[in-house]
């Protein structure tokens, strides 16, 4: 129904995706199309907690960030997004070599948008469902950002 995003927009979003903290966490964008985004992460020692399992904070960052960028594909280019809240369920301790995240917009709008992220771990060629998040966002006109951020959030 809605048209696909342009190649330029997809490239712009893929680049903007890799901000400081996300780069630091080594989360990489993959397939991106209107209302959908995939990302991946190669698990390394920095992602672990004391018991050798991937820290929930890594999985959460991936789920939240990917949901946000999936949502960027359905709003006008002169709008910015703010995460209002999210909820994430963890299904298993993650010890795999790779994490994959698939994010989909489930509710479009301007005031309130909702996306879901499913995180899978890949180990020895098998995928296992590791976590699922529901993310609520709000879109803010970019020119108004400093002020709007304030009025939106205060």
> What does residue 39 show for φ and ψ, rounded to 5 degrees?
-140, 165
Q: Which of residues 71-110 bind its own copies (CB under 8 A)?
A: 80, 82-93, 106-110
Q: How far is the CB of 42 from its own copies (least distance, A)?
A: 14
112 touches its own copies by CB under 8 A: yes
Q: How far is the CB of 101 from its own copies (least distance, A)?
A: 12
User: What is the C-alpha to C-alpha distance for residues 103 and 47, in angstroms, rounded to an integer?
Assistant: 21
Choose one: 4-12, 32-40, 42-50, 119-127; the region binding its own copies (CB under 8 A). Answer: 42-50
> Collapsing DSSP states into helix, strand and coil, what is residue 150?
helix
User: What is the C-alpha to C-alpha distance for residues 145 and 12, in angstroms, rounded to an integer?
Assistant: 19
Q: How far is the CB of 70 from its own copies (least distance, A)?
A: 15
Angle at Cα 77 formed by Cα 76 and Cα 82, nearest 5°? 80
49 touches its own copies by CB under 8 A: yes
**Which of these, 132, 151, 136, 154, lies nearest to 81 by C-alpha position?**
136
69 touches its own copies by CB under 8 A: no
Nearer CB in complex with its own copies: 8/154: 154
Q: How far is the CB of 68 from its own copies (least distance, A)?
A: 8
For the residues of 5-68, what is the DSSP string, one character each? PPHHHHHHHHHHH--HHHHHTTEEEEEEETTEEEEEEE--GGGB-TTSSBPHHHHHHHHHHHHH
6 touches its own copies by CB under 8 A: no
47 touches its own copies by CB under 8 A: yes
48 and 96 Cβ atoms separated by less than 8 Å: no
Residues in contact with its own copies by the rule CB under 8 A: 16, 19-22, 24-25, 45-51, 55-58, 60-62, 64-65, 80, 82-93, 106-112, 114, 129, 132, 134, 136, 138, 145, 149, 151-154
């Amino acid at each position: 129904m809605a048209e696909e995003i342009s190649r330029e927009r997809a490239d712009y979003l893929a680049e903007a995706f890799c901000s400081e903290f996300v780069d630091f966490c080594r989360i990489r964008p993959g397939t991106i199309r209107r209302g959908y985004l995939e990302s991946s992460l190669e698990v390394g020692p920095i992602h672990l907690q004391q018991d050798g399992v991937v820290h929930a904070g890594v999985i959460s960052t991936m789920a939240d960030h990917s949901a946000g960028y999936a949502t960027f594909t359905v709003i006008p280019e002169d709008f910015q997004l703010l995460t209002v809240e999210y909820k994430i369920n963890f299904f298993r301790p993650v010890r795999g070599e790779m994490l994959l995240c698939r994010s989909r917009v489930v509710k479009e709008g301007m005031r309130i948008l909702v996306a879901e992220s499913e995180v899978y771990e890949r180990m020895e060629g098998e995928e296992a469902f590791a976590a699922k998040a529901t993310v609520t966002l709000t879109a803010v006109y970019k020119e108004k950002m400093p002020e709007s951020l304030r009025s939106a959030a205060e």
